[in-house]
Each structure stands twice: as structure tokens, then as C-alpha cells.
Amino acid sequence: MIRLSVNINKAATLRNARGGNNPNLIEFAIDCERFGADGITVHPRPDERHIKREDVLLLKNVIKTEFNIEGFPSKDFIDLVLQVKPDQVTLVPDLPNVLTSNAGWNTIKNQKFLKEIINTFHNEGIRTSLFIETEEEMIIAAKETNTDRVELYTESYARNFFNDQEKAIKPFIDAAHLAQKINLEVNAGHDLNLQNLNFFASKIKYLKEVSIGHALICDALYFGLENTIQMYKRNLK
């Protein structure tokens, strides 16, 4: 069964828009788990425009499924991860001013940098994943960093899905097959939604986990949070 990790950044954005604590992010995460989420993902950024450092520390104490923290491995981020010790850390190459993750790692250029950071996390028993695109050479180089997993950046799949589904999915099928061949586990995320998720999940063998936030929160406005999480989980079967 492919695991669904719900990214709760957008719930934090809504809270921050008015100040105060509505919606209560901690209760929101607990409810996501209660409604069937297999994990919770957060992406704290330096400006705290959605997830705040305090949120991450509080979530550590309440999440019962799997806690995934993603972000650029700055010193502050690394220190936070080492303090919280989540189940998984997903490293992304985002600069501080990026609106949302929009590219995968160049694992050739950044191999030494990533390898040192991943070793630090492994020493604390934290599973690691690298946000990556589908190029063969980047996947092979990712293996050399000693990461446990790669998270395939699926924006191009989502963008091209309605034009040609088979063409859109093929690079991801090839990438997942290569990752499995060299003993890398595979996650996926970015712009996956109720329209394109089932096809992706049915075609990508070896898929361990998807991380979905923006689309899921938007759908919850129409369908309700519990129903929406169950709809996404059905699409993963």
C-alpha cells in the first residue's frame, strides 16, 4: 500500500493570514491522522510564512504515524531536524525566496555536500530522501550520497497529464525502475491531485509514499477533510 503523507503547509498559511491560532495546526495534524493519513509533512522556511519552528517542535509530540520534515539543509534547518528527530527528512534545493519547490537536486554538483548532511542524519537514525528529477545520471549520483530514498518531482507529469498521459508518465516509470535497480526507495510529490494520482500510482511500481498538500487542502474546501483524505487514499490503491 502506497502511503499518503499530508503536507499541512497550506493550513498553516491560512492560520497565519489572520494571526491567532485558527485553524489550530496541531489539531489539524491529529485529525489528518485520525481521518486516515499515513504521515504528516511540513516544510519550514526561514521566513516562517507558513510552518513555524514552534509548530515543528509541537508536532513532534503528537504525531503518531510518520513525521516528514522537508527543506533546504541550512544550518538552522539541520539543527531543527536533529532536535526533532523525525522519521524522515526530505532535502530540497530551495532558496529562501522560492514560492514553492520548483526543481530537483543536481546530485552530481552537490554530491559531497549532500553526502555529509545525509551522514549526519543517518547517525541519528533519520531516514533521508532527496527531491530529484528523472534524469538517469542524477538518480545514479543520488545513490552515491547514501540517501535512503528519492522523491520524484512530479510537476512535469501533472502539467502534461491531460495532453498525453503515457508520454507524461514514461520518464517516471523509467526513473522508478532505475532507482529500484540500484536499491533506492521511491517517493513522489508536487501537483499530484485527484485527477492524476490514480494513474501515477498504478504505473509507478515500487512507489512507497506520496506527499500531497496544496491540492488536498483545496479539495477539502469542497469535500471536507475526512472525505478528501479517504478519496486520495482510494486513488492510491
pLDDT of 208-225, one tens digit each? Answer: 999 999 999 999 999 999
Q: What's the pLDDT at 103?
A: 78
pLDDT tens for 196-211 read 999 999 999 899 999 9
Catalytically active residues are 43, 70, 190
Amino acid code (one letter) for 212: I
Report whether pLDDT(99) > 90: no
Compute the distance between CA of residue 166 and CA of residue 103 in angstroms, rounded to an integer. 22
Write the CA distances from 19 to 12, 22, 48, 89, 91, integer angstroms.
10, 8, 13, 28, 29
Give the pLDDT band of residue 102 (cuts 50, 70, 90): low
Compute the distance between CA of residue 234 and CA of residue 149 in angstroms, rounded to an integer. 24
Task: Identify the H or E element spanning 90.
Answer: strand 88-91
Report whether pLDDT(127) > 90: yes
Report whether pLDDT(101) > 90: no
CB 216 within 8 A of CB 224: no
**Mean pLDDT score across all residues of the chain:** 95
Amino acid code (one letter) for 182: I
Fold assignment, 3-231: TIM Barrel (3.20.20)
pLDDT tens for 133-142 read 999 999 999 9
pLDDT tens for 6-54 read 999 999 999 999 999 999 999 999 999 999 999 999 999 999 999 999 9
